[in-house]
Amino acid sequence: KPVFFKRGDKEPQNFDLIAKYNIPVVEGKDMDELVQNFEDVIAKYPEVKSVEKFDITQIKSEIDATLKKFEMIKPALDYKF
């Protein structure tokens, strides 16, 4: 059950998709308010819409280029899985 945590210091991209699928949004001015708002959401979790399938053929080259751009990023040696 997804919940979107909205950060106060960032404006979310594609917020229209979050609304389209009725994904609940949680925000708060401090950690106490954030936790309380999250607990309120999970106590009465709304019905979310199923994600529509779509053909990625048209954007596949853009996805490939982005993945290639960041392929050199590796986890730190001390990172534990």
Query: DSSP letter string over 64-81?
Result: HHHHHHTTT----TT---
Query: Can you give the pLDDT at residue 73?
Result: 79
- pTM: predicted TM-score of the whole model, two decimal places: 0.58
Q: How confident is the model at residue 43 (pLDDT cuts 50, 70, 90)?
A: very high
Residue 48 confidence (pLDDT):
87
Q: What percent of the chain has pLDDT over 70?
A: 91
pLDDT band for position 50 (cuts 50, 70, 90) = confident
Owner of token pair 């936790």: 35
- Is a pLDDT exceeding 90 seen at residue 25? yes
The answer to whether residue 81 scores a pLDDT higher than 60 is no
